[in-house]
Structure 1
């Protein structure tokens, strides 16, 4: 299994990755293609596709910030789910990291959301209970409440506030309020 970093929407695996992105996340959590193009121009942003035997199996879209590595989107294609690939990819990501890793999960109000949280917990991520929301990614929508998970340990409310203040403007291409 290998990881390839894409830098442009014209790169070979981008269309397959974008199709999975469109299918894997609810509209209120997705950026537009134009926003993705802006992200790809940022050196801190990694659009990494996962390839197994020359076949696209998923992606890890993450930010390499000074204080954290933040996984913004992670998904494996439907035909490759429940085969341990996601676990292997995240374990490799963890092994090559020397920073606190954080990611967002939806509130545990459905079976699928609870399954996702438990997947990350089995890998060693901690579920932080601090109130957390992201700005609306769609006009006329409210901010979206989520939870943060972190590896290898929990993060404090102060860490959450710092992450929001310092990195949300970069992640969401917005200025702070």
Structure 2
């Protein structure tokens, strides 16, 4: 398995990865292609894909901030799900650096959302219960309420406030 950082939308595997991205996340949780092209130019943003024998296994889109790493989007290809690749990709990421990691999950109001939260918990992420929302990705929509998960420890309300004040302007302004 190889991890490759893509730097622009013309790179090999980008369009295949973009299709997986669009099929894996609801429209209110993803960027449009032009915004993605702009965000990929930011030095602290990583568009990492994982390939094995020239097959796309999955992707990990993340931000490297001074005090933490934030997983923006993560998915494995449909053909590779339930084979342990997601766990392996995340564990490699978790072990590659000592900075705390944050990611967002949907509220646990459906079976699939509950399963996703349990998956992250099994590998060590903690589910935080602080109120948290993200700005809309499409103009005219309402902010989206989500939950933050963190590794290796739970967040305080002050941690969430700091993340929102410091990191959101970078993440959500392309």
TM-score, structure 2 as length reference: 0.98
Show the 5 A alignment for 1:11-160: 11-160=11-160
- What is the DSSP-based 3-state SS (H/G/I as helix, E as strand, rest coil) of the residue aligned with 1:169? helix
The list of structure 1 runs, each at least 4 consecutive aligned residues, that deviate by more than 6 angstroms after superposition, is none
Structure 1, unmatched stretches of 5+, are: none
| Cα distance in 2, alignment partners of residues 133 and 38 from structure 1 | 23
Structure 2, unmatched stretches of 5+, are: none
| Count of aligned pairs | 174
| Cα distance in 2, alignment partners of residues 28 and 7 from structure 1 | 24
| Cα distance in 2, alignment partners of residues 91 and 58 from structure 1 | 14
| Cα distance in 2, alignment partners of residues 69 and 173 from structure 1 | 18
| Cα distance in 2, alignment partners of residues 5 and 145 from structure 1 | 30
**What is the CA-CA distance between 1:102 and the residue it aligns to?**
0.3
| Cα distance in 2, alignment partners of residues 35 and 153 from structure 1 | 32
**What is the CA-CA distance between 1:6 and the residue it aligns to?**
0.2
The superposition leaves residues 118-152 of structure 1 with CA deviations (integer Å, 9 ceiling, x where unpaired) of: 00000000000000000011122100000000000
TM-score, structure 1 as length reference: 0.97
| Cα distance in 2, alignment partners of residues 132 and 148 from structure 1 | 7
- What is the DSSP-based 3-state SS (H/G/I as helix, E as strand, rest coil) of the residue aligned with 2:86? helix
| Cα distance in 1, alignment partners of residues 27 and 64 from structure 2 | 25
| Cα distance in 2, alignment partners of residues 76 and 123 from structure 1 | 16
Coordinate RMSD, CA, aligned: 0.7
- What is the DSSP-based 3-state SS (H/G/I as helix, E as strand, rest coil) of the residue aligned with 2:162? helix
